[in-house]
Chain A
């Protein structure tokens, strides 16, 4: 009987050599006359172990990693296809502590299945949510999503059910579902993992959203930096059309849903929903005034649901197992699970999906194992380039939207970037201003001009010029950005800047007392 070997096709795994490992395994097996079936799965999200090679056994999948092409002959010499011992052996994959302790709902299939296989998807609970949705009224679908407590995972945390309800109740001949796959936040990669590792779950989620609100056309707005996800999504969409899961009369229901992937072109601001819609319409990605809300007048002036990848990919499990099932995970008003991404200077970077409520400290040390450099962790930035920098004294904050808001921070899209004690926080604050300057769409003055002035003020501060005047000036400028910007880019750039100033004043050449003024 042939042996099934799994080597991830996830682009991070590939960036560490997974393609070469897969080729080496195929070659070595052929040379030795061993019959193998090579499956390119998604990543389990334990990136310090990638490329992670798995082998199907009676007891479950066993893992070896990190495997380099040069290790492959040795693995065969050790008879690893028959469970032979090897230095890279990690035992049963799902017994690895990092993985075992997770609560994988949205990521349930990722790393287990072949993302290109619709059959694999269906055999592993795929399209159960859609099946249930087809037996429900639109109001019932929206109610299930509302009951689940799901809030937008892109960062704004707006209740998904309420957004859907608004679109459902707005009459129009044409409505749209947009998936915001412009995952531009540094330190985040959960959207990418879903699109590369389980594309059908996103397609199913969007199809359910279409049924729920009467939208017949969906667009996935994908960032250009994800070429592999583009190919995987297009292949999956083609398979779904072929099998009657997209197009007209889906599974004999008489309902229609079309789906197309559109690529962005390297503009961070297009992750903002109104800018994204301008871009989809073929224009410069300038932010729109709100109101009108996209749910009432969105893409091409029609009612539009704009949801993040993770939000939409969480819909199938909610419709499959019920809103209550999903809601029972989490804490406070943050319900369900959050796929947290550990990145930057951390020993065990990767994807950790858990119900809300775990503290940063547990994530950084129990899961992450501390810094990669072995030096003390000095600061972490949570929620992307517009998220606050948190010092060690705030590491006991639980991951919860409200708890983070209370310390003037954001959970955002769940990315955590770790810095050790070699970081200069004034430099990071300058970078935040520079990033805002680089990415500003230019529509509103505080963001367009404020960011340029911000870089100049930070340069003065870093060079120790006139701190008595420049520190208050920086605060004043941040106040203008915070209150006067049209969207979150200008409006939240003060989060990293001021949190760096408040928590690490010594890096700005001042003592803590001076900042309190």
Chain B
């Protein structure tokens, strides 16, 4: 099967499993993003038809929520906290370091496709600021050095 055929099959499977839930759109979008890493614009018509919505309505929902993305992410997405508690513990300096280390700004992906960088407004790890999340893994009291160590470990295991 072609790659786009695979994608379509995955999306159809998710739609079939969830479309009868009340308020099914967000659960469907979550599952699509979990499975594919993003919500391909090509999947929007299928989702819209299944839920009896317009494509504009589905697009509107995807674009409203910071978490949903319509482009493929890097292999790992780094969510770096920008909120007050992390700022109080040097979060801004860490942000500068992370951006220069990776050579990208927020919402960008490194040229080698390894890392995407996204801002996040609180990870609930405020007692251990500054904080970041990579995949499902959360890190506390992150320093420039510990960030570099984490990145090196991830690169080594790739």
Does A225 sit at the interface, judged by CB under 8 A?
Answer: yes
Which residues of B sit under 8 angstroms from A281, Cβ to Cβ? Answer: 22-23
Which residues of B sit under 8 angstroms from A351, Cβ to Cβ? Answer: 127
Do A188 and B126 touch (CB < 8 A)? yes
Does B120 sit at the interface, judged by CB under 8 A?
Answer: yes
Interface residues of A in 159-203 (CB under 8 A from B): 183-189, 191-192
A225-B123, A263-B30, A265-B66 known; A284-B60 Cβ under 8 A = yes
Do B126 and A341 touch (CB < 8 A)? yes
Do A417 and B124 touch (CB < 8 A)? no
Does A445 sit at the interface, judged by CB under 8 A?
Answer: no
Measured in the bound complex, the distance between the Cα atoms of B51 and A47 in whole Å is 45
Does B29 sit at the interface, judged by CB under 8 A?
Answer: yes
Do B128 and A186 touch (CB < 8 A)? no
Interface residues of B in 15-45 (CB under 8 A from A): 22-27, 29-30
Name which of A8-16, A72-80, A146-154, A468-476 contacts chain B.
A8-16
Do A16 and B123 touch (CB < 8 A)? no
Partner of A345, one of B61, B83, B89: B89
Which residues of A sit under 8 angstroms from B158, Cβ to Cβ? Answer: none
Does A423 sit at the interface, judged by CB under 8 A?
Answer: yes
Do A343 and B30 touch (CB < 8 A)? no
Do B127 and A12 touch (CB < 8 A)? yes
As a 0/1 sequence over residues 222 to 244 of chain A, the CB contacts with chain B under 8 angstroms (1 = contact) are: 00111110000000000000000
Does A250 sit at the interface, judged by CB under 8 A?
Answer: no
A15-B125, A343-B129, A417-B85 known; A267-B65 Cβ under 8 A = yes
Which residues of A sit under 8 angstroms from B24, Cβ to Cβ? Answer: 282
Which residues of A sit under 8 angstroms from B79, Cβ to Cβ? Answer: 225
Measured in the bound complex, the distance between the Cα atoms of B87 and A191 in whole Å is 22
Does B75 sit at the interface, judged by CB under 8 A?
Answer: no
Partner of B140, one of A12, A264, A428: A12
Which residues of A sit under 8 angstroms from B122, Cβ to Cβ? Answer: 183-188, 225
Measured in the bound complex, the distance between the Cα atoms of B64 and A122 in whole Å is 42
Does B131 sit at the interface, judged by CB under 8 A?
Answer: yes
Measured in the bound complex, the distance between the Cα atoms of B131 and A343 in whole Å is 12
Which residues of A sit under 8 angstroms from B60, Cβ to Cβ? Answer: 284
As a 0/1 sequence over residues 343 to 373 of chain A, the CB contacts with chain B under 8 angstroms (1 = contact) are: 1110001110000000000000000000010
A12-B140, A285-B65, A344-B84 known; A417-B126 Cβ under 8 A = yes
| Chain A, residue nearest B139 (CB) | A15
Measured in the bound complex, the distance between the Cα atoms of B124 and A343 in whole Å is 10
Measured in the bound complex, the distance between the Cα atoms of B128 and A345 in whole Å is 10
Interface residues of A in 405-455 (CB under 8 A from B): 415, 417-420, 423, 428, 431, 435, 438-439, 441
Interface residues of B in 128-147 (CB under 8 A from A): 128-129, 131, 133, 136, 138-141
Do A15 and B120 touch (CB < 8 A)? no
Do A284 and B128 touch (CB < 8 A)? no
For this complex, into which size category does the number of interface residues on chain A fall?
A: 35 or more
Nearest Cβ in chain B — how far from A273, in angstroms?
15
Which residues of B sit under 8 angstroms from A188, Cβ to Cβ? Answer: 122, 124, 126
Do B88 and A419 touch (CB < 8 A)? yes
Do B25 and A282 touch (CB < 8 A)? yes
Do B120 and A225 touch (CB < 8 A)? yes
A186-B122, A282-B24, A282-B25 known; A417-B68 Cβ under 8 A = no
Do A15 and B140 touch (CB < 8 A)? yes
Does A300 sit at the interface, judged by CB under 8 A?
Answer: yes
Which residues of A sit under 8 angstroms from B89, Cβ to Cβ? Answer: 344-345, 372
Do A266 and B65 touch (CB < 8 A)? yes
Does A385 sit at the interface, judged by CB under 8 A?
Answer: yes
Measured in the bound complex, the distance between the Cα atoms of B126 and A187 in whole Å is 5
As a 0/1 sequence over residues 1 to 30 of chain A, the CB contacts with chain B under 8 angstroms (1 = contact) are: 000000000011011100000000000000
Does A268 sit at the interface, judged by CB under 8 A?
Answer: yes
Which residues of B sit under 8 angstroms from A15, Cβ to Cβ? Answer: 125, 128, 131, 138-140
Does A381 sit at the interface, judged by CB under 8 A?
Answer: yes
Do B124 and A262 touch (CB < 8 A)? no
Which residues of A sit under 8 angstroms from B138, Cβ to Cβ? Answer: 11-12, 14-15, 228
Which residues of B sit under 8 angstroms from A184, Cβ to Cβ? Answer: 121-122
As a 0/1 sequence over residues 250 to 277 of chain A, the CB contacts with chain B under 8 angstroms (1 = contact) are: 0000000000001111111000000000
Partner of B127, one of A228, A285, A350, A439: A350
Nearest Cβ in chain B — how far from A232, in angstroms?
13
Do A187 and B136 touch (CB < 8 A)? no
Measured in the bound complex, the distance between the Cα atoms of B84 and A345 in whole Å is 10
| Chain B, residue nearest A263 (CB) | B30
Does A305 sit at the interface, judged by CB under 8 A?
Answer: no
Do B61 and A283 touch (CB < 8 A)? yes
Do B26 and A263 touch (CB < 8 A)? yes
Which residues of A sit under 8 angstroms from B139, Cβ to Cβ? Answer: 15
Which residues of B sit under 8 angstroms from A345, Cβ to Cβ? Answer: 88-89
Interface residues of A in 374-420 (CB under 8 A from B): 381, 385, 415, 417-420
Which residues of B sit under 8 angstroms from A187, Cβ to Cβ? Answer: 83-85, 122, 126
Nearest Cβ in chain A — how far from B136, in angstroms?
4
Do A266 and B120 touch (CB < 8 A)? yes
A15-B131, A47-B128, A187-B84 known; A439-B121 Cβ under 8 A = yes
- A–B pairs, 24, beta carbons within 8 Å: A11-B138, A15-B125, A16-B141, A183-B124, A184-B121, A185-B122, A186-B126, A187-B122, A189-B124, A189-B126, A224-B67, A225-B123, A266-B68, A281-B23, A282-B61, A283-B61, A342-B127, A343-B85, A345-B88, A345-B89, A372-B89, A381-B84, A385-B83, A439-B121
Given contacts A192-B124, A439-B121, 4 further A-B contacts (CB under 8 A): A12-B125, A189-B124, A341-B127, A350-B127
